[in-house]
Amino acid sequence: MTTTEPTPEGFRSGFACFVGRPNAGKSTLTNALVGSKIAITSSKPQTTRHVIRGIVTRPDAQLVLIDTPGLHKPRTLLGERLNTLVHDTWSEVDVIGVCLPADQRVGPGDTHLVSEIAALPKRPKLVALATKSDLVSGDRMRQHLLAIAGLEEKLGIRWEHVVPVSAVSGEQVDEVADVLISLLPEGPAYYPDGEVTDEPTETLVAELIRECALEGVRDELPHSIVVTVEEMGLREDRPADKPLLDIYANLIVERDSQKGIMIGHKGSRLKEVGSEARQQISRLLGTPVHLDLRVKVLKEWQRDPKYLNRLGF
């Protein structure tokens, strides 16, 4: 949806998405470019579960960044639906930024991913992003850039630009924005100035809770966690200068044994997650928060179409 504000001559606008293997730094880079935390990050694979739009508005352009789940070999119906979401996004954007982490070699997973993009009937412009540049030496980066360049001939593609970047240190983040914007068509702004995402607040809150729940869990549990916000609103009996936001949320897992892990000994793990999530939500929304967090079991929800539809997948 375009805004009613007139845009200056030569104004560029459009959509870009980051792709890459799980944990390639896509969400961290999205947050760094937007300048606000809109996408959750974790070392766990498949952290991103749905499409998140981050908005970068400058006097000369508006870039809408679409953060997608990492493409992976699906083991569940949820995994299949997430992969479909990724492919659908590719066909709708102007530019794809392929995240190839500098601390890992360009491998078969990267080659497969780029070859899938190369096979698109209408291929967006491609930019290679050598993410996590702060973790490697100059020599290692040179080898990495040579490997990235080698994909052009091997897969019959063309990189419009190749940019080393570190979202953590901030190195070359502005350069990535400049490069992506230079490849957008001229057009009007899609969102009002000052807006950083079109994500509903409830979704952002649920994702922040899930990010806190992901820390410290291992094996299959990360994939089994989903969060729903049942109710959210300002407490009515509070004075205007001392607001309190009440949030009632469910942390959903697939098995009773997982419920025990999430609650912890005498509720210690759940208290930890609740405390960290409350602080993060309060920082995001600028309001003190009361968080009521319960753990529920939905048996095998990742494989059940009824549960997936109910949970918004």
74, 208: one domain: no
Annotated binding residues, written as ranges, equal 20-27, 67-71, 131-134
The better pLDDT of the pair 49, 71 is held by 71
pLDDT (mean) for 45-67: 80
The pLDDT of residue 181 is above 80: yes
For position 280, which CATH number holds? 3.30.300.20
Report the percent of the chain where pLDDT is more than 70: 90
Domain boundary, last residue among 148, 183, 218 = 183
Instruction: Please report which confidence band the pLDDT of residue 90 belongs to, taking 50, 70 and 90 as the band edges.
Output: confident
Q: Does the residue 195 lie in any domain? A: no
Q: Do 241 and 124 sit in the same domain of this protein?
A: no
Q: 150, 183, 216: which is the final residue of a domain?
A: 183
Assigned domain for 125 exists:
yes
Q: How far apart are the C-alpha atoms of 57 and 16, rounded to whole Å?
A: 13
Q: Does 303 reside within a domain?
A: yes
What is the C-alpha end-to-end distance of the chain, expressed in Å?
23
The answer to whether residue 304 sits within a structural domain is yes
Same domain, 64 and 103: yes
In a domain, 192, yes or no: no
Residue 237 lies in a domain: yes
pLDDT at 84: 77
User: Looking at residue 101, what is its pLDDT?
Assistant: 96
Written as six digits, the tokens of 224 are: 């089994």
pLDDT at 135 over 80: yes
Q: What is the mean pLDDT of residues 84-92?
A: 81
Q: For 175-196, what is the mean pLDDT? A: 94
Q: Does residue 292 contact residue 249 with C-beta atoms inside 8 Å?
A: yes
Query: What is this structure's pTM?
Result: 0.71
Residue 26 domain-assigned?
yes
Share of the chain above pLDDT 90, in %: 52
Same domain, 124 and 16: yes
pLDDT in tens, 9-51: 899 999 999 988 878 888 889 989 998 877 766 555 555 556 6
The residue out of 183, 213, 230 marking a domain boundary is: 183
3-state secondary structure of 52: strand
pLDDT at 219: 57
Residues 24 and 53 in one domain: yes
pLDDT exceeds cutoff 90 at 83:
no
Average pLDDT over residues 128-153: 96
Pair (166, 219) in one structural domain: no
User: How do residues 242-269 score in pLDDT, each as one tens digit?
Assistant: 999 999 999 999 989 889 988 988 999 9
Q: What is the pLDDT of residue 25?
A: 87
- In this structure, are 138 and 283 located in the same domain? no
Domain identity same for 212 and 177: no
pLDDT at residue 163 tops 90: yes
Q: Which residues are annotated as a binding site for GTP?
A: 20-27, 67-71, 131-134
Residue 216 C-alpha from the chain's centroid: 20
Average pLDDT in the 105-113 region?
92
Residue 128 in this model has a pLDDT that exceeds 90: yes
- Gap between the Cα atoms of 31 and 242, Å rounded: 30
In terms of domains, do 238 and 142 share one?
Answer: no
pLDDT in tens, 195-244: 888 877 888 888 888 888 887 666 556 678 888 999 999 999 888 889 99
The pLDDT assigned to 50 comes to 60
- Say if residue 160 is in the same domain as residue 240: no
pLDDT exceeds cutoff 90 at 165: yes
The tally of domains found in the chain comes to 2
DSSP characters over 226-274: EEEEEEEEE-TTS-TTS--EEEEEEEEESSHHHHHHHH-GGGHHHHHHH
d(CA 275, CA 257): 23
Alpha carbons 19 and 128: distance in angstroms, whole number = 10
61 with 164, same domain: the answer is: yes
Give yes or no: residues 25 and 129 share one domain: yes
Q: State the average pLDDT for the chain.
A: 87
- CATH code, domain with 85: 3.40.50.300
Taking the mean position of all CA atoms in its chain, how far away is CA 126?
19
**Predicted local distance difference test score (pLDDT) of residue 46:** 52
Q: What residues make up the domain containing 226?
A: 201-311
Could you read off the pLDDT of 271-301 as tens digits, one per residue?
Answer: 999 999 999 899 888 899 999 999 999 998 8
114 within domain boundaries: yes
pLDDT at 126 over 80: yes
Beta-bridge partners for 126 = 96, 159
